[in-house]
């Protein structure tokens, strides 16, 4: 069976989420809702959905998401039972009616061949405006290639779009970055465990971008920038080998830019980068890095 985990905090769009679960044409799933000590109690709303789909609700006494959102995801996942596959669904996102049906229809194709399954996605605004892009994906795709399509602006990626194996989650876990910014990106590189991602394009997850969402907010850019620096450093140390040479060289420059958004590069940063440029040597990228290093010394 499929577990759908909802780390709950905001009520404003939550009914839309519950409606989409109630409307699933295939009921072979169980929902686990973890309330992160929210001041907005969803209990009355949840009462209306009792018997309409199978769910467990847990209200936690301490607010963990403000300290580590990824750790709140962890304690919500800990509520699950013996399900082998997990979706983390945002409390402001929602599903089309055939998400679960499509899951079981495709299960025989991807079972034992992947640790990550993703759906097509549509971005919606605060008023469910559907004028943003619709994203589908290659049926089978390496995690590294998937991430680079995002880097190049060819696609978007949000936590709710993915289903992952509990086995891989227990092996790697979520990396706790500030605001959990890039925590999902890191997870797909880790959880894939060098297997390709399988995509179900005939069913859609609707991901809401609003002033209430971390993605939609603009007053947290400094925190996001720090998380990005940490994320790219971790990729260079832990996941570098899954990328091809062109991608590795691009990642080195992306990491350099991520540092600059927060601070000036120090000698340790430059030596780390130069060493990796040498290991992935190409004349132009290497000497451009050396040039930037020399300029930084003089400035």
Set out the domains of the chain in order of their start, with CATH numbers: 2-208 (3.90.550.10), 220-298 (no CATH)
Ramachandran region, residue 153 (left: φ > 0; alpha: ψ -120 to 50; beta: rest): left
Query: What pLDDT was estimated at residue 220?
Result: 78
- The model's confidence at residue 130, banded by pLDDT at 50, 70 and 90, is low
Query: What pLDDT was estimated at residue 129?
Result: 55
For 233, the token pair is 């450093």
Distance CA 252, CA 235 (A): 10
- The model's confidence at residue 127, banded by pLDDT at 50, 70 and 90, is low
- Asked if 176 and 182 touch (Cβ cutoff 8 Å), the reply is no
- Asked if 255 and 280 touch (Cβ cutoff 8 Å), the reply is no
Flag whether pLDDT at 128 surpasses 80: no
Q: What is the pLDDT of residues 181-237, one digit of tens each?
A: 999 999 999 999 999 999 999 999 999 987 655 655 567 799 999 999 999 999 999
Length of the chain counted residue by residue: 299
* Percent of all residues in the chain with a pLDDT value above 90, rounded to a whole number: 91
- Average pLDDT over every residue of 94-118: 98
- This prediction has a pTM of 0.94
């Amino acid at each position: 069976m499929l577990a759908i985990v909802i780390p709950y905090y905001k009520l404003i769009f939550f009914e839309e989420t519950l409606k989409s679960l109630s409307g699933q044409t295939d009921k072979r799933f169980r929902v686990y809702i973890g309330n992160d000590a929210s001041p907005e109690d969803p209990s009355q709303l949840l009462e209306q959905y009792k018997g309409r789909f199978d769910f467990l609700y847990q209200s936690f006494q301490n607010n963990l998401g403000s300290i580590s959102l990824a750790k709140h995801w962890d304690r919500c996942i800990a509520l699950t039972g013996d399900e082998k596959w997990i979706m983390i669904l945002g409390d402001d996102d929602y599903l089309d009616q055939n998400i679960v049906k499509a899951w079981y229809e495709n299960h025989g194709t991807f079972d034992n061949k992947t640790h990550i399954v993703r759906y097509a996605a549509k971005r919606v605004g605060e008023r469910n405006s559907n004028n943003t892009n619709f994203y589908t994906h290659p049926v089978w795709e390496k995690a590294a290639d998937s991430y680079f399509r995002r880097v190049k602006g060819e696609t978007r990626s949000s936590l709710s779009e993915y289903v992952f194996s509990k086995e891989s989650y227990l092996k790697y876990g979520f990396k706790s970055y500030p605001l959990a910014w890039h925590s999902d990106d890191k997870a797909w590189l880790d959880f894939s465990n060098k297997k390709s991602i399988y995509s179900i394009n005939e069913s859609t997850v609707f991901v809401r971008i609003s002033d209430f969402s971390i993605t939609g907010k603009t007053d947290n850019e400094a925190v996001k920038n720090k998380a990005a620096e940490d994320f790219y450093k971790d990729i260079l140390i832990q996941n570098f080998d899954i990328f091809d040479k062109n991608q590795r060289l691009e990642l080195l420059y992306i990491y350099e830019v991520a540092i600059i958004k927060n601070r000036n590069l120090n000698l340790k940063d430059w030596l780390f980068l130069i060493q990796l440029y040498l290991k992935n040597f190409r004349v132009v990228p290497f000497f451009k890095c050396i040039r930037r290093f020399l300029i930084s010394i003089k400035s």
